[in-house]
Homo-oligomer: A and B are copies of this chain.
Amino acid sequence: MSLVTCRFRPWVLVFTADERLLRRLRRAGIYAELPLPGERDDLPAALVLPRTEEGFWTPEERELFFRFRTAGVPVLWEEGAAPPDGETFLSGTRENAFVSFSDDEGFSQLLAALRELVGGGPAYTPIAFAERCVAELAAHLGEGRAVVALSGGLDSAVSAALVARALGDRLVPLFVDHGLLRAGEAEEVPAALTQILGLPVRRVDARDAFLAALRGLVDPEAKRRAVGETFICVFEREVAGIPDVAYLVQGTVYSDLIESVGRGGVKAHHNVGGLPERVSFTLVEPLRPLLKDEVREIARHLGFPASLVERQPFPGPGLAVRVVGEVTAERLELLREADRIVREEIGSSDVAPTLWQYFAVLPGVRTVGAKDGRRREGEVVAVRAVVSEEAMSARAAELPYELLRKIAHRLTTELPAVARVVYDVTDKPPATIEWE
């Protein structure tokens, strides 16, 4: 299995895991990467060594450092930065040493030095990346069709849009309807993407297959696995019916790599998207080096509707991990309706723009309520809403009680199966944003 992606040149390499510096450099027009194992072999214009809290080096990072160092790549370091074992020169020379990368003046000095090192190359922007990427894909991808599985997420949709611009109708976009999306999405997403791609998106109705795979499962990991495996199975069967498929487009982005491979990952995972190694196609992952917000910028540039660009993070197994415990068609439908009400109410409130994510969860608790003066049993619905910068940490949002009360009223009156509504007040950590 080989991999095609897009790269930006010139580039600089930031040690050891300073994502904040990476973002800041990219926003300033310098294309930076972190040392992910096995990612690229062409020489960077500079190695950047900030002073970080995580001062240790993995063996892979050390190997990479010395390979490029030996090849003559200059090193720019912040005073107090921890060099890898065996690096002795840093303390011996003042050349390329900077007092600070983080204050504005120090960062400007770093920028000036890097701009000189990268020479007259084009300034990096996500749009420039995307334009160059389309040209690269058009020039390098050979004969045959490309297939993409659209999930409703932005990453796969933008990846598909770039490939569509390069290959035209040699791209076949599939939308696998696993029945685990939110209310309305299974209709809206393929319609919107057909518009954007200028290609008919084929909807594959696999709802029964996913429900069957989830039957009887209560363990969150088992549920995730079942969804992942069913997805691969359905997708492979679908692709088998398409002639001359040579490429498989995936929406992998840099943030996925950092999270799943991370520092000290033992080997290169070309495969974070979930498809097995046995796939014989060439993978095309145009957005692999990009950060989430950069993908959003490209999407806006390409004319994506706000509903897709601003779409809240949504787990791969969808509503299956928001129905705590066993997933049944009935409970899935109840959650979908509850989630629709929660999103309508919070979405139309003043606080919506301040929130990172908001949704409903079905914890699977039977509780007592009273309707029309009579005792009756019903389900609990949990409301989750968080404020976050980047999802690594999050605060439970301080929703106005008036809003919570309105949500509770609608849920218990419009959905007869709901008897009680709770609001999740836990931050991440110690909780996670999702319940499973």
Seen from chain A, the residues whose Cβ lies within 8 Å of a Cβ on chain B are: 220, 324, 363-371, 373, 375, 380, 382-383, 396, 398, 401, 404-405, 407-408, 412-413, 419-432, 434-436
Contact = CB atoms under 8 A, between A and B. Distances in A.
Nearest to A418: B430
A258 to B, nearest CB: 15
A160 to B, nearest CB: 31
A37 B404 CA distance: 44
B429 A371 contact: yes
17 contacts: A324-B366, A363-B380, A367-B436, A368-B432, A368-B435, A369-B429, A369-B430, A369-B432, A370-B428, A370-B431, A383-B425, A396-B401, A396-B405, A401-B425, A408-B425, A422-B422, A422-B423
A138 B382 CA distance: 56
Q: Which DSSP category, helix, strand, loop or mixed, fits chain A's interface? A: mixed
A431 B404 contact: no
B422 A424 contact: yes
A408 B427 contact: yes
Contact of A367 (B380, B396, B431): B431
Given A363-B380, A436-B367, A420 B431 contact: yes
Contact of A412 (B404, B412, B422, B431): B431
A127 B277 CA distance: 84
Contact of A420 (B371, B404, B424): B424
A376 to B, nearest CB: 9
Nearest to A413: B430
